[in-house]
């Protein structure tokens, strides 16, 4: 027996479910979902079937045709594996389907439940999912590996006046519950209680479990394009700002189609979540989830949307088979994002994006200097929690690899290759070996021109990687170098800068400078007060490492305002890496006070940072 994926109990010898029908009853008071998952296999099967679970209470497993019990078991050791959770073993006998009845736990790592006080409306609760990388198993029993692609239907029972959105097509208008339809998920009296409504969704394109997503709460919406509607929890102000920021979504979709082929998902809707959302964006098909921190007021947040849109071809359409091949998702998507940005916003903006990525890749080399395994495009992740080693390596080293191939063969040839690649593997999950085989077959001799093994299996940054070249990029780097000599940029030199230019400038400054220089820079340009969190956090990180205690109050406010891990990770790390015990104590105190506002995934990441420096 061999596992299909180092992060799943799914066995390679067992069939993969092709369809899942979910019935979910939301209990906001208990922060629990009572549900059932009907898993359908390709054919009748006899033998054990292992499913991934974490923090789930399994009530029963039934044959959906006869309602006869199906034998099942969980490990006798009640302590779950800290990364994998627990395997649920079903014993099937010539059966092609199984109905698993379960309840989630308030500690489900895929769910964040927000009280009314934690929402913008202050009147209604809110809940949303984040299943990447391996958190779908805490939402419903599943073969929680990207190698397993499923279609699904979902029936959600919510209290009035809440509504739901989902990364799927709406199957019908919200309606009253119908007696008998709940099956075994919860008592009929509960399902049909007064003040409840049912919403139904369907996803008829096969997706990996990590792309399963929904949100429920007081959600408003507005159309911003032919295929795009913006949804938001934050009320009219957030909705207005989001509609302005993402007004160019349709132009981006068309640019993506011209580059990579037809958009296969129908809708490209966007949901702006509360500030606790742990990522910048999540590429859930048909319903991208976004942090409100990408709304910057100058349309530059659309670059995050460009990245999530690019996933519609590379990541959602073609998916990495396991997280050890994550670069196939993120390296390709970073490349595709920059191609879309180049078309829509221009070459200089794309070059700035590349420059920020180059700086980030070099920073990751320093971060992983004691474990260079995680600087490989294809690392060994056996026993490793993907969330703990999440980094820019698969994004930026993956981008550099693809850019290197483009430079070798020329853009027209590489564009033709990309379209062939997407057409060949769409709606499949593949590994690096499949990509390399296709690469060598379609670009003959490429293995003699580029050291493919060094790029994929080697540590560090290969010598034929390339720092981007552009006039604005070179100018910003030059100004950063002048800062080392005590020179602050003149107002006329930065008059036309947006947040992206400032971010690149700060990222190229020394990691520690004189506090007086930090104060002088901020006095001129108020970077600590920037509305652009990329700029603000980069500046505050520099202030912490330079010992500027006058900014620690702003650091604390920032850590209590947002839950995006891109900001939490560097700020908490900077606080605990210093030698001052007072600063480390501040980090622990801030986390204790802010913890409940963070998503469970972010909680785990910060706890890991604090534990390493305890």
Residue with tokens 């034998």: 71
131 known member of a binding site? yes
The secondary element (H helix, E strand) that includes residue 540 is helix 533-545
Is 47 annotated as contributing to ligand binding? no
Closest CA to 207 of 289, 317, 283: 317
The two beta strands, 19-27 and 269-272, are unpaired
Spatial separation of the C-alpha atoms in residues 499 and 522, rounded to whole Å? 14
Cβ distance 422 to 263 under 8 Å? no
342 annotated to a ligand binding site: no
Say which of 25, 390, 395, 421 is annotated catalytic.
395
HEC per residue, 516-538: HHHHHHHHHHCHHHCCCHHHHHH
Structure tokens at 137: 């198993």
Q: Is residue 514 flagged as an active site residue?
A: no
Task: Round to whole Å and give the CA distance between 452 and 467.
Answer: 19
Catalytic-residue membership of 308: yes
Task: Quote the CA–CA distance of 608 and 598 in Å, as a whole number.
Answer: 14
The residue ranges of DSSP E strands in 208-268, in sequence order, are 214-217, 220-223, 229-232
Q: Is the dihedral of CA 522, 524, 527, 529 positive or negative?
A: positive
Q: Is 279 annotated as a binding residue?
A: yes
Q: Alpha-carbon distance 253 to 259, whole Å? A: 10
> CA neighbours within 13 Å on the CB side: how many for 149?
17
The two most distant CA atoms of the chain are separated, in Å, by: 79
Are 306 and 252 in contact, with CB atoms under 8 Å apart? yes
378 is in an annotated binding site: no
* Distance between CA atoms of residues 109 and 229, nearest Å: 28
Q: Round to whole Å and give the CA distance between 161 and 171.
A: 19
Q: Is position 231 annotated in a ligand binding site?
A: no
Residue 478's Cβ-side half-sphere holds a number of Cα atoms within 13 Å equal to: 9
- The CA–CA distances, whole Å, from 374 to 231, 233, 286, 332, 570 equal 36, 37, 32, 18, 18
Q: For residue 335, say whether it is annotated as part of any ligand binding site.
A: no
Q: Tell me the C-alpha distance between 511 and 260, whole Å.
A: 39
Q: Which of 308, 337, 364, 406 is catalytic?
A: 308
List beta partners, residue 318. 314, 428
Selection from 562, 529, 538 nearest residue 360 by Cα = 538
User: Burial level of 542, CB count in 10 A (0-12/13-18/19+)?
Assistant: buried
Q: Count of residues for the chain?
A: 614
**Does 281 belong to an annotated binding site?**
yes
Please check if 566 is assigned to a binding site: yes
613 marked as binding residue: no
* 565 among annotated binding-site residues: yes
CB-CB contact of 423 with 461 (8 Å): no
DSSP string, 99-149: EEEEEE-TT-TTEEEE-GGGSSSSSS-EEEE--TTTTGGGTS-B--STT--
By CB atoms closer than 10 A (0-12, 13-18, 19+), residue 474 is middle
d(CA 578, CA 100): 49
Annotated binding site: which residue ranges? 130-132, 278-283, 307, 311, 330, 564-566
Annotated binding site for a peptide: which residue ranges? 130-132, 278-283, 564-566
Active site residues: 308, 395
């Amino acid at each position: 027996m061999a596992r299909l994926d180092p992060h799943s109990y799914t066995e390679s010898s067992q069939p993969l479910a092709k369809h899942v029908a979910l019935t979910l009853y939301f209990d906001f008071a208990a922060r629990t979902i009572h549900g059932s998952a009907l898993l359908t296999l390709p054919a009748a099967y006899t033998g054990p079937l292992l499913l991934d679970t974490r923090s789930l209470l399994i009530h029963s497993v039934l044959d959906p045709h006869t309602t006869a019990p199906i034998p099942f078991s969980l490990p006798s050791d009640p302590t779950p594996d800290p990364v994998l959770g627990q395997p649920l073993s079903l014993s099937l006998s010539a059966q092609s389907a199984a109905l698993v009845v379960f309840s989630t736990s308030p500690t489900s790592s895929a769910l964040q439940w927000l009280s009314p006080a934690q929402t913008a409306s202050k009147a209604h609760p809110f809940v949303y999912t984040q299943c990447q990388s391996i958190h779908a198993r805490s939402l419903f029993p599943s073969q929680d590996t990207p190698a397993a692609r499923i279609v699904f239907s979902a029936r959600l029972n919510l209290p009035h006046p809440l509504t739901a959105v989902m990364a799927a097509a709406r199957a019908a208008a919200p309606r009253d519950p119908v007696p008998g339809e709940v099956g075994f998920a919860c008592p009929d009296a509960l399902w049909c209680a007064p003040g409840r409504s049912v919403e139904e969704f369907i996803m008829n394109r096969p997706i990996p479990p990590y792309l399963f997503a929904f949100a429920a709460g007081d959600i408003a919406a507005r159309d911003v394009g032919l295929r795009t509607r913006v949804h938001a929890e934050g009320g009219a102000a957030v909705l207005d700002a989001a509609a302005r920021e993402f007004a160019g979504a349709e132009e981006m979709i068309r640019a993506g189609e011209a580059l990579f082929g037809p958009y296969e998902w129908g809708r490209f809707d966007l949901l702006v979540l509360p500030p606790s959302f742990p990522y910048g964006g999540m590429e859930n098909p048909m319903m991208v989830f976004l942090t409100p921190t990408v709304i910057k007021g100058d349309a530059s947040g659309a670059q995050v949307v460009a990245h999530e849109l690019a996933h519609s071809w590379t990541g959602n359409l073609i998916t990495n088979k396991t997280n050890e091949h994550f670069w196939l998702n993120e390296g390709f998507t970073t490349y595709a994002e920059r191609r879309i940005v180049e078309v829509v916003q221009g070459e200089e903006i794309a070059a700035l994006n590349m420059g920020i990525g180059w700086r980030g890749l070099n920073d990751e080399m320093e971060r992983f200097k004691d474990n260079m395994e995680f600087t490989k495009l294809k690392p060994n992740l056996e026993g490793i929690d993907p969330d703990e080693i999440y980094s820019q390596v698969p994004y930026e080293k993956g981008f550099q690899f693809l850019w290197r191939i483009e430079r070798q063969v020329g853009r027209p040839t590489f564009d033709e290759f990309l379209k062939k690649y997407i057409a060949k593997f769409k709606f499949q999950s593949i590994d690096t070996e499949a990509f390399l085989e296709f690469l060598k077959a379609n670009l003959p001799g490429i293995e003699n021109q580029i050291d493919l093994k060094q790029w994929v299996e080697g540590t560090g940054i290969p010598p034929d990687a390339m720092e981007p070249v552009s006039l604005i990029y070179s100018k910003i780097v030059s100004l950063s170098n002048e800062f080392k000599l005590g020179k602050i940029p003149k107002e006329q030199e930065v008059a036309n800068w947006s947040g992206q230019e400032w971010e690149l400038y700060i990222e190229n400054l020394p990691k520690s400078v004189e506090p007086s220089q930090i104060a002088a820079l901020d006095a001129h340009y108020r970077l600590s007060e920037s509305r652009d969190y990329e700029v603000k956090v980069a500046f505050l990180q520099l202030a912490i490492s330079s010992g500027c205690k006058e900014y620690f109050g702003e650091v604390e406010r920032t850590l209590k305002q947002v839950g995006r891990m891109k900001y939490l990770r560097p700020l908490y790390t900077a606080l605990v890496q210093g030698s001052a015990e007072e600063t480390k104590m501040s980090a622990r105190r801030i986390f204790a006070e802010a913890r409940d506002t963070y998503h469970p995934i972010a909680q785990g990441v910060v706890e890991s940072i604090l534990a390493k420096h305890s």
